[in-house]
Amino acid sequence: MAHFNCSIAQTLEIVGEWWTPLVLRNIMMGQRRFEQIQADLGIARNILSDRLSTLVDAGVLTREQYHDAPVRYEYRLTEMGSDLFGSLMALMAWGDRWLSPDGPPVEVLHKDCGEVTRPVVACEHCHGELTRRNVRVRPGAGWRPPTGVTLPASV
């Protein structure tokens, strides 16, 4: 998928496999150890091992040994990994809105302002929400045609 000249595709190469976003969610909640994550998600050990290796190789996680015999590792988010928090919040906000008729399973308190908040994907300049209707996508500095993607004049 990496041949697509598209940062969504590039991102999915690393975090787009089944289970990976939930593995990251658990690590963001403070679960650093294989056994914890495995027990909490009920994921097959070989799949969890594969997902963690992909994330370590990509620079999203570091792996540090915390026990000798047997050898055990802890996983920690790098800055690159921590920066995925916003994407997970955006996915959560969508599920809260469309799939949670009883209200959000969890609520998000923004400590900086003290409010219970809804994550919004917004413009860094005017802070307005970005929607399909109010943005236009066009080739940027890293654009490399030809690609698998047909970029329209406007989306």
Which 119-148 positions form the footprint of a second copy (CB under 8 A)?
119-132, 134-144, 148
* Binding residue for a second copy, selected from 46, 65, 113, 146, defined by CB under 8 A: 113
Of 44 and 91, the one with the shorter C-beta distance to a second copy is 91
Task: In whole angstroms, give the CA distance from residue 5 to residue 3.
Answer: 6
Closest CA to 119 of 84, 83, 85, 93: 93
**Alpha carbons 67 and 33: distance in angstroms, whole number:** 11
Interaction residues for a second copy, span 75-94 (CB under 8 A): 77, 80, 82-94
34 binds a second copy (CB under 8 A): no
**Looking at beta carbons only, is 71 or 126 nearer to a second copy?**
126
Given 32, 33, 40, 47, the residue binding a second copy (CB under 8 A): 40
Contact between 11 and a second copy by CB under 8 A: the answer reads yes
Q: Nearest 5°: CA angle at 75, between 69 and 79?
A: 150
- Residue 142 has which token pair? 């890293």
Using CB under 8 A, pick the residue from 46, 70, 112, 146 that binds a second copy. Answer: 112
Among 6, 32, 62, 74, binds a second copy (CB under 8 A): 6
Are 125 and 134 spatial neighbours (Cβ–Cβ below 8 Å)?
A: no
Query: Taking CB under 8 A as the rule, does residue 98 contact a second copy?
Result: yes
Which stretch, 47-55, 66-74, 104-112, contacts a second copy (CB under 8 A)? Answer: 104-112
The span from the CA of 33 to the CA of 38, in Å, is: 9
Torsion over CA of 75, 76, 81 and 87, rounded to 10 degrees? 80
Q: 13: helix, coil or strand?
A: helix
Indicate the residue among 65 and 133 with the shorter CB distance to a second copy. 133
